[in-house]
Amino acid sequence: MRTLLTLLFLISLVFPALGKDYLIQALENAHASFRTATNSAMYAEAAQQYESLIHEEGIHNGHLFYTTGNSWFMAGDVGRAILNYRRAEPFIPKDPDLKQNLNAARELKTDLIPEKEPHPLAARLLGWHFGTSTQVRWMLFSFAWIACWGLLYWALRSARKEAKGGAAVTGILALALLLSLIAESSMNRRADPGVITAYEVVARKGDGPMYAPAFLDPLHSGTEFQSLETRGKWRHIRLADGQTCWIPTSAGETVAIK
């Protein structure tokens, strides 16, 4: 109910002329369908009603994506559940229910593809980069940056070697952390994540059905990927373990709505 009230309020702000009519009624109908659903087909119907607000009316809201993901989850469609949970993340990244439901959906995936391990040398040299969260690195950068300027001020006032040395160390640390954050931000901008929504799809070595299968087994709903290129009706993707293949564009969707 909290989600519904939030969406009703936002709709009334964004669409004041229609807020009391079509859009709110459509959302209330979808919510009623969800609450009265008793089987997978009825949950799928509710999900489609929510999605009409997303795709046809252009309402992009974290709670709407989250509720749509819940509907698909209850309908047994793992792929579309994960897709909508991923779409909700930028809007409500710290929502504990979202994290819990996304993890629950991921546990139901058929394809358990491990994350690609970094090169051993890179893991040794940059283990702190791969093993430390973005939030922690921002906190460390802020501390090192402030400490560096504080020690520089102390060095200028007292000309002590300890202050100069400390300023150099904290300055180097701040620079390393800043480069780490910039590199991560650049990679995130280039990334185009997506999710396979077809029940199963034969991944191929090229952009057409004439190419040989890329793997012995097909990929299944819920498998996440990075979209590298779209060529006609085919999409070039990279899986979590680093392997690449081609799938029909109709077999999956990117998290970013296009």
Per-residue model confidence as pLDDT tens digits over 67-98: 999 999 999 999 999 999 999 998 998 899 99
Region of residue 36 (phi > 0: left; psi between -120 and 50: alpha; otherwise: beta): alpha
Sorted by sequence, the CB contacts under 8 Å of residue 34 that are 6+ apart come out as 43, 46, 50, 67, 70, 71
* Same domain, residue pair 19 and 75: yes
Within-domain flag for 9: yes
pLDDT at 14: 52
Within-domain flag for 112: no
* Same domain, residue pair 129 and 211: no
- Cβ distance 235 to 249 under 8 Å? yes
Q: Tokens at residue 6, please?
A: 């939030």
Determine which helix (DSSP H) or strand (DSSP E) holds 170, and give its type and residue range.
helix 161-190
**Distance (Å) of CA 28 to CA 14, 33, 45, 50, 61:** 17, 9, 14, 10, 16
Burial (CB count <10 Å: 0-12, 13-18, 19+), residue 61? buried
pLDDT at residue 190 is higher than 70: no
* Same domain, residue pair 9 and 55: yes
Within-domain flag for 165: yes
pLDDT at 18: 45
* Same domain, residue pair 61 and 76: yes
Q: How confident is the model at residue 21 (pLDDT cuts 50, 70, 90)?
A: low
* Same domain, residue pair 10 and 96: yes
pLDDT at 17: 46
The radius of gyration of the chain from alpha carbons, rounded to an integer in Å, stands at 24
Q: How large is the angle between the packed helices 96-106 and 78-88, nearest 10 degrees?
A: 150
Say how far apart CA 7 and CA 90 lie, in whole Å.
16
Say how far apart CA 173 and CA 243 lie, in whole Å.
34
* Same domain, residue pair 182 and 197: no
**Distance (Å) of CA 132 to CA 114, 137, 177:** 19, 7, 11
Within-domain flag for 111: no
The residue segments making up the domain with residue 198 are 193-254
For the whole model, what pTM was predicted?
0.73
Say how far apart CA 46 and CA 182 lie, in whole Å.
41
CA nearest neighbour of 202 among 241, 246, 234, 242: 246
pLDDT at 124: 55
| Helix/strand number for the chain, H first, E second | 10, 7
Per-residue model confidence as pLDDT tens digits over 32-49: 999 999 999 999 999 999
* Same domain, residue pair 25 and 72: yes
Last residue of a domain, one of 47, 72, 106: 106
Last residue of a domain, one of 38, 71, 106: 106
Per-residue model confidence as pLDDT tens digits over 100-145: 999 999 999 999 888 765 555 544 555 555 567 677 888 888 888 8
Residue tagged 């119907």 (tokens): 45
Per-residue model confidence as pLDDT tens digits over 151-188: 888 877 776 777 778 888 888 888 888 887 777 676 65
Within-domain flag for 56: yes
* Same domain, residue pair 185 and 198: no
Sorted by sequence, the CB contacts under 8 Å of residue 227 that are 6+ apart come out as 192, 193, 194, 235, 236, 237, 254
CATH code of the domain in which 250 resides = 2.30.30.40
Per-residue model confidence as pLDDT tens digits over 230-256: 999 999 999 998 899 999 999 999 999
Last residue of a domain, one of 106, 138, 171: 106
pLDDT at 192: 87
Within-domain flag for 177: yes
Domain count, the chain: 3
